[in-house]
Structure 1
Amino acid sequence: MPYLDVPGARLRYDVSGDGRLLVFVHGAGANATVFFQQVAHFNRSYRVLCLDMRGFRGSHCDPERFHPRQFSDDLARVLDAEARGPAAVVCQSMGAWSGLPLAVREPERFAALVLSSSPTPAYGPHHTVLQQVSDRFGNVAAGKKVAPQDLGFTDKFVQERPDVLTLYQMLARMNQKLDLSKISDPELRLLPEHFVGYRVPTLVVGGLQNRLIGGETHLAAARCIPGAQDYTFTNSGHSSYFEEPDHFNRVVEQFISVHGHFSQTGEGGKPC
């Protein structure tokens, strides 16, 4: 597994496959390994990179120096090391604090950007949900019992796939304990003036049955990003990539293909 030393942390990431670069960045309750269902699909025709964000699984950092402001710089350093041109980047939940600020700041790095189940740093009234997210993950970190449904999984998934849910929970326990409440710091907000001239093709997706951030928060976030498209997964919650991977993979592949990030087979896609 490649490692990359950056200020205050050593980043670990996984790369497999050949072709144009497709990057996945996880959320607060996971790490790079949760994208195994995306890797198995996309590495047949893309070069797939899955990043452990600092403080998660293999990317160790000093918890006292941890702050989400570092996320976008971390992603930039990984792209410096691995990208040979514009990359397509998929960011789940908290991962949007990696991808969107960098896309605003350095759009030339991106062929397309997909933001999944996230309020995103694009600031608006929908950001009130961040307090609920912080409280629930704080309870998890404190060892309190939190129902999987309150972390965004659907009743159907919890009942029918306890094995895969257990895998997710085991992966989450590999992460360092960090203060994630700083994700709502005002300095991280992207305001309308930050988006002047924004030109990265962006898709904001989310699950309608999301009890962690709400089933329409992704729609509110999309309205704050100029030119962004949106897509709703009606049968899943916060982790659509995990609950209905075939559907999620198809939507991602169609979007990035439409915007010129074709697989190595050269086959394009149709709009979502």
Structure 2
Amino acid sequence: MPYIDVPDARLRYDVTGEGPLLVFVHGAGANATVFFQQVAHFARNYRVLCMDMRGFGGSLCKAETFHQRWFPDDLARILDAEADGPAGVVCQSMGAWAGLPLAVREPERFRALVLSGSPTPAYGPHHASLTNVSNTFKRAGAGEKVAPTQLGFTEHFVANRPDLIALYQMLARQNQKVDTSHITDPELRLMPEHFADYRVPTLVMGGLQNKLLGAETHKIAAGFIPGAQVYTFPDSGHSSYFEEPAHYNRVVEEFFRQHGHGEDKGQ
């Protein structure tokens, strides 16, 4: 596994396949391995890179210096090492605090950007949901038993896929105990003026059954990102990529191909 040393952290990531670079950035509940269902699909046509954010999986950091303010720079350093041109980037939940600020700051790094299951750093009234999210993941990170439905999984998925719930919980236990509640800090907010020249094609997705964030949060968030498209998964919750991967992968692939990242099936 490749590693990159950055200030106060060592970042681990995994690369599979050949083709245009497609990067997956996980949320606060797991780590890079959680995208195994995306890797199996996209590695047939893309060079798929899944990174462990600092404090998660194999990316170790000083717990006392953990903060989401470093996420964009961490992603940039990995792109420095692995990208030979604009990349497609997919960010789940907290991962949006890596992708969106970097897309605002350095749009030339991106062919297109997908944000899923996330209020995103684009500030608005929907950020009220962050307090609940932050508290929930802080409890889970501290070792408290938190029901999968409280983490945004649907009751149907919990009942029918106990194997995948067990896998998700095992992945979560691989992470350091870091304080993710910094995500509500005002310094991380992207305000309208930050998007004055925003030009990265962006898709904001969310599950209609998302009880962690709310069913409409992704739609509201998209309204604060100029030109953003919206897609809703009617049958899944916070983690559509995990609950209904075939559906999720198809939507993501079609979006990137529409924006010239990968082969167009229509040609």
Report the equivalent of 1:41: 41
SS at match of 1:205: strand
The 5 A counterparts of 1:92-111 are: 92-111=92-111
What is the alpha-carbon distance in structure 1 between the residues aligned to residue 119 and residue 266 of structure 2? 27
The 5 A counterparts of 1:31-110 are: 31-110=31-110
Tell me the alpha carbon deviations over residues 162-208 of structure 1, each in whole angstroms, 9 at most, x when there is no partner. 01110000000000000100011000000000000100000000000
- TM-score of the superposed pair, with normalisation by structure 1: 0.97
Report the equivalent of 2:116: 116
Amino acid paired to 2:95: G
Report the equivalent of 1:267: 264
Cα shift at 1:21: 0.1
What is the alpha-carbon distance in structure 1 between the residues aligned to residue 186 and residue 266 of structure 2? 38
Paired residues of 1:9 and 1:59 also in contact (CA < 8 A): yes
Report the equivalent of 2:257: 257
- TM-score of the superposed pair, with normalisation by structure 2: 0.98
Report the equivalent of 2:11: 11
Q: Percent identity?
A: 73
Amino acid paired to 1:240: S
- Is 140-149 or 202-211 further displaced after alignment? 140-149
- Is 143-152 or 163-172 further displaced after alignment? 143-152
Report the equivalent of 2:159: 159
Amino acid paired to 2:80: D
Structure 1 stretches of 5 or more lacking a match? none
Report the equivalent of 1:144: 144
Cα shift at 1:126: 0.4
Amino acid paired to 2:47: R
Length, aligned pairs only? 267
What is the alpha-carbon distance in structure 2 between the residues aligned to residue 185 and residue 139 of structure 1? 18
Paired residues of 2:142 and 2:177 also in contact (CA < 8 A): no
The 5 A counterparts of 1:242-253 are: 242-253=242-253
Paired residues of 2:3 and 2:12 also in contact (CA < 8 A): yes
The 5 A counterparts of 1:176-195 are: 176-195=176-195
SS at match of 2:204: strand
Cα shift at 1:78: 0.2
Paired residues of 2:117 and 2:218 also in contact (CA < 8 A): yes
The 5 A counterparts of 1:118-133 are: 118-133=118-133
Paired residues of 2:110 and 2:200 also in contact (CA < 8 A): yes
Report the equivalent of 1:229: 229
Paired residues of 1:258 and 1:269 also in contact (CA < 8 A): no
Paired residues of 1:133 and 1:213 also in contact (CA < 8 A): yes
Aligned: 1:238 with 2:238: yes
Amino acid paired to 1:205: M
Tell me the alpha carbon deviations over residues 187-244 of structure 1, each in whole angstroms, 9 at most, x when there is no partner. 0000000000100000000000011111110001000000000000000000000000
Amino acid paired to 1:142: A
What is the alpha-carbon distance in structure 2 between the residues aligned to residue 16 and residue 225 of structure 1? 31
Report the equivalent of 2:201: 201
SS at match of 1:236: coil
Structure 2 stretches of 5 or more lacking a match? none
Cα shift at 1:146: 1.7
RMSD (CA atoms):
1.0
Cα shift at 1:130: 0.6
SS at match of 2:213: coil
- Is 13-22 or 137-146 further displaced after alignment? 137-146
Paired residues of 1:121 and 1:190 also in contact (CA < 8 A): yes
What is the alpha-carbon distance in structure 2 between the residues aligned to residue 144 and residue 90 of structure 1? 29
